[in-house]
């Protein structure tokens, strides 16, 4: 990917590194409990289910990840309110890169909304309202989805229409999930933007009759993957996305599939299997048509 000459989005917020440690946010167990209490239709909806893959992973791996994200590192040592983007050269590059990817999602989705090339769920589809990307370290407060720590991974909060990412997640992807590369990072942003698009078109809260909550969640997640693919298709030329970049994205989709994270019981999947995630991403990427991303039109969740 080449980003040098591209527009940087201003829909970007640097929340600072906070007070360090994990004190500012909800403990992860509390967050999980809230998600379970609220269920699929709760206020945390799609954003929280993104996080659930990381919540449900095996204890040993989770501990390792928590250590990576929160243990005694740069975050804990940072001064209150210090800029996340200025905290390290790696963070600076991640912030800059994120703003380029976000800007390209704005261009793609503004065009799709204008042309009304979207799955139809009966919701009003006016002009695209771009979301804001918030970078934080350690913990963050949202405008309507409560507090969260970095442990939950990147997430989207529909109440304030913001995406939340701790740049250390990229490092985690590379080292722990073996999904390196800048396009894999772009895929994460495009997936969260996909949840925002779902919020606008009205698919993010759907629960087809006969689906369990987990199956409905899988539909939402696979659709977000497909919408990320649509962005990839439309940005292929402008960002010079190569076959190698595409392999990175599919590796990322594979690495964060439920089965790769150690969930062997398909009924408990909330994101879909690795194969499903890569396939739906590919469907969006190959067609460039968001209307091909209608996971809710698939009659039975077992056929997704």
Binding site for Zn ion (CB under 5 A): 50, 221, 224
Q: Tell which residue, 69, 72, 71, 78, has the closest CA to residue 17.
A: 78
Q: Give kind and range of the element (H or E) at residue 133.
A: strand 132-135
Query: SS3 for 81?
Result: coil
The least distance separating Zn ion from the CB of residue 36, rounded to whole angstroms, comes to: 17
Question: Is the distance from CB of 302 to CB of 211 less than 8 angstroms?
Answer: no
87 or 101: CB nearest Zn ion: 101
Q: Which residue is nearest to Zn ion (CB)?
A: 50
- Tokens representing 252? 């990322």
82 or 230: CB nearest Zn ion: 230
75 or 204: CB nearest Zn ion: 204
DSSP 160: T
The least distance separating Zn ion from the CB of residue 49, rounded to whole angstroms, comes to: 6
The least distance separating Zn ion from the CB of residue 162, rounded to whole angstroms, comes to: 15
Cα separation values, 120 from 23, 200, 294, Å: 42, 11, 9
85 or 230: CB nearest Zn ion: 230
The least distance separating Zn ion from the CB of residue 221, rounded to whole angstroms, comes to: 5
As a whole number of angstroms, the distance between CA 223 and CA 241 comes to 21
100 or 227: CB nearest Zn ion: 227
The least distance separating Zn ion from the CB of residue 193, rounded to whole angstroms, comes to: 10
Residue owning tokens 């006969």: 210
82 or 249: CB nearest Zn ion: 249
Residues with Cβ within 8 Å of 202's Cβ and at least 6 positions away in sequence, in order, are 121, 122, 123
The least distance separating Zn ion from the CB of residue 277, rounded to whole angstroms, comes to: 10
């Amino acid at each position: 990917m080449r980003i040098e000459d591209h527009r940087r989005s201003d829909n970007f917020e640097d929340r600072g590194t906070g007070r360090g440690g994990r004190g500012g946010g909800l403990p992860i167990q509390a967050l999980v409990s809230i998600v379970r209490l609220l269920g699929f239709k709760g206020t945390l909806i799609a954003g929280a289910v993104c996080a659930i893959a990381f919540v449900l992973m095996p204890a040993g791996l989770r501990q390792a990840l928590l250590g990576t994200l929160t243990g005694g590192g740069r975050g804990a040592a940072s001064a209150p309110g210090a800029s996340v983007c200025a905290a390290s050269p790696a963070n600076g590059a991640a912030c800059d890169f994120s703003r380029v990817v976000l800007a390209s999602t704005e261009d793609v989705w503004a065009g799709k909304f204008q042309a009304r090339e979207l799955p139809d769920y009966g919701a009003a589809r006016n002009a695209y309202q771009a979301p804001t990307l918030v970078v934080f370290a350690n913990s963050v407060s949202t405008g309507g989805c409560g507090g969260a720590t970095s442990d939950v991974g990147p997430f989207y909060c529909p109440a304030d229409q913001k995406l939340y990412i701790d740049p250390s997640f990229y490092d985690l992807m590379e080292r722990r999930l073996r999904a390196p590369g800048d396009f894999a990072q772009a895929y994460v942003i495009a997936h969260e933007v996909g949840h925002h698009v779902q919020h606008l078109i009205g698919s993010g809260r759907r629960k087809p009759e006969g689906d369990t909550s987990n199956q409905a969640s899988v539909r939402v997640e696979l659709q977000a993957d497909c919408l990320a693919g649509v962005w990839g298709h439309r940005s292929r030329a402008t960002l010079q996305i190569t076959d190698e970049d595409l392999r990175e994205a599919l590796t990322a989709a594979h690495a964060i599939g439920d089965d790769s994270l150690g969930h062997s019981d398909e009924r408990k999947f909330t994101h879909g299997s690795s194969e499903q995630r890569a396939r739906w991403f590919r469907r969006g990427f190959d067609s460039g048509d968001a209307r091909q991303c209608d996971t809710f039109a698939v009659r039975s969740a077992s056929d997704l």
